[in-house]
Amino acid sequence: MKLKNKVAIITGGSSGIGREAAILFAKEGAKVVVVDINTREGNKTVKAITEKKKIASFCKADVSIEKDCKKMVAFAKRKYGGLHILFNNAGIMHSDDGDSQSTDEAVFDLTMNINVKGVFLGCKYGIPLMKASGGGSIINTASFVAHLGAATPQIAYTASKGAVLAMSRELAVVHAREGIRVNALSPGPLRTELLMKFLNTDEKKQRRLVHVPMGRFGEAAEMAKAALFLASDDSSYMTGTEFLVDGGITAAYVTPE
């Protein structure tokens, strides 16, 4: 097992990438703290793990609130004794996020608070426990839109993921000599509830999909496997970099019809 005796915190663990990663990490031997604001769905993730005789617990926390991030790290320490993997995955893609003229300041602020400040706060409180646990791996969910302007405007989301990518590089450099690796996972367009709600018409879906050389949306389970690589010793010489898992969208100039 790739994560035997490791303790992992996964934010946004009630659905999508977070749920799939929690299940996979537990299967690979990790003790998983599933973090989300959605108690019902977060506990469903835990149940999916414990039914298979693996180890997981739920901690309700809003990653945009400092005391909640402090609480989730304290929960991991109290419940499992340390921290080796921190997957800062929680994020939103607001339905009212559009171009710079149509997006309200409140939508922009909410997106940045969850998608960017949530990563900062997770690291602020997670890194000291990770250092005390002998080091580990931090994975921050960015996005292919950190490189490309989105075909369907989403100014706040795009800005937030660019910030996550930049922050991941700096965190990696600062903490490299402490046995802590920090990498960003940048998914392409995925068939998740988050994106499907945002691309809420067939026209919007096709506008995004036409740019993907592989011709399909990615799946959350595929991102979980990529996160497992970054969490495990298979990526032991990787830090300060980005793992693009995007169906080729960032490599494409023109996609054939």
pLDDT tens digit string along 33-44? Answer: 999 999 999 999
pLDDT < 70: residue spans in the chain: 253-257
Q: Which of 80, 157, 237, 253 is catalytic?
A: 157
* pLDDT given at position 203: 74
How many domains does the chain fold into? 1
Please state the pTM of the whole predicted model.
Answer: 0.94
* pLDDT given at position 189: 86
* pLDDT given at position 209: 81
* pLDDT given at position 118: 98
- Residue 211 maps to a domain: yes
* pLDDT given at position 99: 96
Other CB atoms within 10 Å distance of the CB of residue 177: 7
* pLDDT given at position 150: 76
- Residue 85 maps to a domain: yes
- Residue 89 maps to a domain: yes
Distance from the first to the final alpha carbon of the chain: 42
Question: By C-alpha distance, which of 166, 162, 156, 144 is closest to 252?
Answer: 144
Average pLDDT over all residues of the chain: 94
Question: By C-alpha distance, which of 182, 113, 110, 126 is closest to 10?
Answer: 126
Residue with tokens 């970099």: 241
- Residue 257 maps to a domain: no
The encoded tokens of residue 204 equal 């919007």
- Residue 239 maps to a domain: yes
- Residue 234 maps to a domain: yes
* pLDDT given at position 197: 78
* pLDDT given at position 252: 85
Residue 157 annotated in active site: yes
CATH number of the domain bearing residue 230: 3.40.50.720
The domain in which residue 125 lies consists of 7-251
Cα angle 83-87-88, degrees, rounded to a multiple of 5? 120
